[in-house]
A and B are shown apart, each in its own frame.
Chain A
Amino acid sequence: MDEQYLLKEIASLKEKLREKEDNLAKLRFEKQILQGHGLNNGEIARYSRQILLPEIGVKGQLKLKNSSVLVVGVGGLGCPSALYLAGSGVGHIGIVDYDDIEITNLQRQLLFSSLDIGKSKVIAAKEILERLNDNIKITPYKLQIQSSNALEIIQHYDVILDATDNVATRYLLNDACVISGKPLISGSALQFEGQLTVYNYAGPCYRCIFPKPPPPEAVNNCSDSGVLGAVVGTIGVMQALQTIKVILKLPGILSGRLLIFDGMDMTFKNLKLRSKNQDCEVCGRNPTIQTLIDYEEFCGSKANDKHQNLKILTANERISVNEYNELSHTPLKPFILIDIRSNQEYEMCHLKNSINIPFSTLSSKGCLDALKKEINKNETDISNVYVLCRRGNDSQKAVRALKNYFTNSDIQVKDIIGGLHAWSHDIDPEFPIY
């Protein structure tokens, strides 16, 4: 039995199973006995452990049942927040994500499992969340939220969660929430750090605190910098907690405060932020932003994490993986292959005969001098330096940096087009991709 056949069979069995589960849920639902206050016996039992809390009670549970929350981004933040919102009985949860599930998501996006790879995130999440709690409604939006659709989607929800991973969408959601008068529960996490706050809830908005977007070179993301699942999960769970408190109008909401979590030191800092900025461009006294703008232009960066191919070098400053493969087997001239990824990435996988000089250290004078020594100490003159990275973007920047250094020499510096991804795709399918 081959893999494709098995996958197909599993999918069809799952569909059958789901049909039967739906029927069972319907049957059970029809048998439910509704009490005078509006909760049925199943709901009373299911939510009893939180209804017991004096701050919640039956009244609070009904508020949750009648509330609607939009989770934008079903990733490391959105998975845990949606799980806890669904568990607590928020009656209607919208989930927005344009993306499909990849194997690199599974370490932190715990709604998904190995067999979901390739499926739509929102569809897979809807199935899991409905299975967790069949009393609630889940609305999936498989799309990228943007200026043309944000206000229309947001208007159906009471509270919005920013569980996204990019700056452009953060400004978009902020402005859309200010314009629509909705609280925005904003979370973010990278490496071992997380930040959490509530915007536009009788306090400042994102623009009051950060009026200017970061320059593209100041932005890191999970696929480059890494993130630990439990760290981003901690923030996601607390986003759900903030949301529940906003719905229940409980005190102690992180409006005008920024919670900073350091998962390495295991410390939380609770920073007092400014009050609303009267001159804020979107929520101030005389707002200049009254409709949504072009946020990718405003931020100078894309609103998704899809990788782009930079074109910095000319064709004769680059070689293909095929060309490199050939010349590495029969080198006419001795060469050096520099892999400029981080030490951790190099440790995961690398090409034979490559040396590792991370891009962050490459342009330092000490490093360049050492490299020159290495080249000069060889008896045979090295005249070619090849630079390699994961996808062939940073390698171009590195070639520029090296060329500025080796100005008066015969050394040819080129990068390998498409990097190790191209190597795995075109030359060695057994080479790992991450």
Chain B
Amino acid sequence: MWMEMSENTTGKSARVKILFFAKARELSGFKESEIVVPVLISFIELKDQVIEIFNLETIRDIVILAVNEEFVEPDAFLKLTEKDEIAVIPPLSGGTSFS
């Protein structure tokens, strides 16, 4: 997954599966969806796209992303394929109620 950019994949896109957990599920309205992203993409770009497309702004600073059940480091550069599965995971915990 962690590969250097190569000529033949530059500019290509892939349709990947994306899974949502906890608050990300509630905000996006999905448990599971699909997203078309560049095959070569940095963690930051991927996160930006996921947050924008799925309405996750309120949890931007607290979500972690995993690709194929593996945590993605914030400085990572990814090479995705159509078989990959992205998971969007915020921490699960209670808090003060204001309702």
Contacts and interface: CB of A to CB of B under 8 A. Distances in A.
Given A166-B95, A216-B96, A222-B94, A269 B62 contact: no
Contacts of A307: 96-98
A212 B95 contact: no
A165 B94 CA distance: 5
B14 interface: no
A271 B93 contact: no
Nearest to A189: B92
A260 B21 contact: yes
Interface string A311-326: 0000000000000000
B99 A393 contact: yes
B39 to A, nearest CB: 22
B58 A271 contact: no
B61 interface: yes
Q: Do most interface residues of chain B lie in helix, strand or loop, or is the interface mixed? A: loop
A218 B98 contact: no
B96 A221 contact: yes
A150 B89 CA distance: 29
Interface string B43-66: 000000000000000110110101
Given A193-B92, A270-B69, A272-B69, A218 B62 contact: yes
Interface residues of B, number: 26
B19 to A, nearest CB: 8
B95 A216 contact: yes
Contacts of B23: 214, 218, 220
Contact of A221 (B22, B71, B94): B94
Contact of B89 (A215, A223, A271, A272): A271
Contacts of B26: 220
A164 B26 CA distance: 22
> Across chains A and B, which 10 residue pairs bring their CB atoms closest together, nearest first?
A219-B95, A165-B94, A221-B94, A302-B96, A188-B92, A212-B61, A272-B70, A195-B92, A393-B98, A394-B99
